[in-house]
Amino acid sequence: MLINELSKKTGITTHTIRFYEKSGLIEGKQDESVKSNNYFHYDEITVEKLDFISDAKSVGFTIKEIGQIIDAWYNKKYTKKQKLEILDDKLISLEQKMKEIKEMKKQILQFKDDVVNDRC
């Protein structure tokens, strides 16, 4: 599919898709047999990747971190061991985020309590 269809399927603008492509997160390929244009074609894996990118951004992963995860999954440049190391590293960082959110929840509940009991 071309970039417009990809954009419609993922809800990500063509501009942002091109930004992600330049950042190395996804990669379209040009059809060598067509000489009249240099349009990029994208496959279902790219749709999958973009959906993942959206989710990963929500949890606060940076473009760089998302790139590492995508490479650990879709790329052949790492050994099995290296891939698992990267993924485990991200799991640890998710656990950390989880812990911080729980702490923040407690803190805000305390704030609420203070408001209710006129301690602020």
Cβ–Cβ under 8 Å, residues 45 and 37: no
Q: Which is nearer to DNA, 15 or 84 (CB)?
A: 15
Window 84 to 113, contacts with DNA (CB under 7 A): none
55 lies in the site for its own copies, by CB under 8 A: yes
1 CB-near residues (< 8 Å, 6+ apart): 9, 41, 42, 43
Q: Which is nearer to DNA, 62 or 110 (CB)?
A: 62
Distance of CA 78 to the CA centre of its chain: 19
Show the tokens assigned to 3: 């970039």
Where are any strands of DSSP class E within 52-99? none
Question: Residue 85 binds what, of DNA, its own copies, none (CB under 5 to 8 Å, by partner type)?
Answer: none
97 lies in the site for its own copies, by CB under 8 A: yes
Site string for DNA, 23-52 (x = CB under 7 A): -----x-----x-xxxxx------------
